Amino acid sequence: MNPYFNRGAIADPKYFFGREEILSHIWAALNAPKPQNISIEGERRIGKSSLLNYLMHQDVRKKWLTLPDKYVLVLTDFLDYQPQSAADFIRTLHYYLCLELEQSNNLDLCAQAQSALQAMESFSAKDTRRLKEALKRHLMDLKKQGYHVVFLIDEADSVFLRARLDYGVFDFMRSLSDVSRYYSVSYIIASRRPLREISKALVASKFHNTFEVHKLGLFSHEEALELIRTPSQRAGVAFTTQEEDILLGLAGNHPFTLQVACYYLFEQKVTGHLIDARALADAVYSQLIPCMEDWWEDSSSEEQHLLHAIITGSSSSTEFPLELLHRLLERGLVVKEGVELRCFSQLFTRFVREKAQIIDETPEAGDSRHLYLSSQIKEWLKQGEGQTIEFKREIPGNITQLAKTIAAFASGEGGVVIIGIEDDGTVCGIPVYSALDRDRFRQRVYGVATKVVKPPVGVEIDFLKVHGKVVSIIQVPPGTEPLYYVESRPYVRYGSINQSPEPDEVRRRYATAEHDRPGHPIGTSSFLKQQRQAGLREEVWRVIETVELQLRQFIAGILRQKVGEDWEQFLSKRHPELYEQWTTIQGRHQRAFKRYGAVTQPSETILDYSFVGDLGTLVVKDWEIYRHILDFGRSSSKENKRYWVEMIETITRVRNALAHHRFVPENELKRVEVFCNDIAAVLSERYS
Co-location of 37 and 112 in the same domain: yes
**420 in a structural domain:** yes
**77 in a structural domain:** yes
Peptide bond preceding 13 in cis form (omega within 30 of 0): no
Co-location of 51 and 197 in the same domain: yes
Co-location of 341 and 470 in the same domain: no
Report helix, strand or coil for 494.
Answer: strand
Give the residue from 340, 358, 376 where a domain finishes: 358
**405 in a structural domain:** yes
- Kindly state the average pLDDT of the residues 438-457: 87
- Kindly state the average pLDDT of the residues 57-61: 91
**521 in a structural domain:** no
Co-location of 253 and 198 in the same domain: no
* pLDDT of 172 above 70: yes
For all residues of the chain together, what is the average pLDDT? 83
Co-location of 140 and 206 in the same domain: yes
> pLDDT confidence of 151, banded at 50, 70, 90?
very high
**12 in a structural domain:** no
Torsion of CA 446, 449, 450, 452, to 10 degrees: 120
> pLDDT confidence of 578, banded at 50, 70, 90?
confident
Q: What is the C-alpha separation between 102 and 120, in angstroms, rounded?
A: 15
Range of 231's domain? 221-358
> pLDDT confidence of 6, banded at 50, 70, 90?
confident
String of b and e for 587-603 (b: at least 16 CB within 10 Å)?
eebeeeeeeeeeeeebe
Rounded (10°) angle between helices 107-121 and 128-144 = 170
**4 in a structural domain:** no
Give the residue from 454, 483, 514 where a domain finishes: 514
* pLDDT of 660 above 80: no
- Kindly state the average pLDDT of the residues 456-484: 87
CATH number of the CATH domain containing 185: 3.40.50.300
* pLDDT of 593 above 70: no
| Confidence (pTM) | 0.56
* pLDDT of 338 above 90: no
Q: What is the C-alpha separation between 164 and 158, in angstroms, rounded?
A: 10
Count of domains observed in the chain:
4
pLDDT (tens digit per residue) in 491-544? 999 988 999 988 888 888 877 765 444 443 333 444 445 555 567 778 888 899
Co-location of 575 and 625 in the same domain: yes
- Kindly state the average pLDDT of the residues 208-212: 86
- Kindly state the average pLDDT of the residues 33-47: 93
Is residue 210 within 8 Å of residue 37, measured between CB atoms?
yes
CATH number of the CATH domain containing 392: 3.30.950.30
Is residue 471 within 8 Å of residue 362, measured between CB atoms?
no
**5 in a structural domain:** no
Co-location of 33 and 164 in the same domain: yes
pLDDT at site 636 = 85
Co-location of 140 and 228 in the same domain: no
* pLDDT of 318 above 70: no
pLDDT at site 161 = 75
Highest mean pLDDT among 71-85, 335-349, 661-675: 335-349
Co-location of 49 and 193 in the same domain: yes
Co-location of 296 and 335 in the same domain: yes
Lowest mean pLDDT among 303-307, 402-406, 554-558: 303-307
pLDDT at site 226 = 96
pLDDT at site 80 = 62
Lowest mean pLDDT among 40-54, 138-152, 154-168, 324-338: 154-168
Co-location of 292 and 212 in the same domain: no
Q: How many residues does the chain have?
A: 688
* pLDDT of 678 above 70: yes
Give the residue from 216, 242, 263 where a domain finishes: 216
Co-location of 588 and 610 in the same domain: yes
Contacts of 269 (CB under 8 A, 6+ apart): 237, 239, 243, 275
pLDDT at site 687 = 57
Of all residues in the chain, what percent carry a pLDDT higher than 70?
87
- Kindly state the average pLDDT of the residues 123-135: 83
DSSP annotation of 25: H
pLDDT at site 598 = 40
* pLDDT of 219 above 60: yes
**523 in a structural domain:** no
